[in-house]
Amino acid sequence: MRPPRPRCTPLPLQLVYQGPCTSLKPNKADADAVAPGLECGVVLGGGEFAEYKPRDVVECVRIVTRRQQAQQQQLAKQQGER
């Protein structure tokens, strides 16, 4: 699945763009995912960012918010007592 908020960071590390990934192309066709280690084309922000330079690092992250296990157990216990 296409990551929601990729970042492009040139070396030395300095964040220059953070926004949506609008296209990911390992060949000439769009894809939702690319295997690790393979090259691909990427369009960030609908083409609003195009200042890629050799050796830039494009890092894609997905932020997931989860309750801690202790909180879940406590909540389940409280619901069981009702």
How much of the chain exceeds pLDDT 90, in percent? 0
Average pLDDT over residues 8-33: 79
17 falls in which pLDDT band (50, 70, 90)?
Answer: confident
Number of compact structural domains in the chain: 1
What does the pLDDT look like over 36-60, one tens digit per residue? 888 888 888 888 888 877 777 787 7
DSSP the chain: ---SEEEEEPTTT---EE--EEEEESSSS--S---TT---EEEEGGGTB----TT-EEEEE-------HHHHHHHHHHHHH-
Of 19, 38, 20, 42, residue with least CA distance to 30:
42
pLDDT at 3 over 60: no
pTM of the model: 0.49
How many other C-beta atoms are found inside a 10 Å radius of the C-beta of residue 82?
A: 4
The parent domain of residue 29 ranges over 5-81
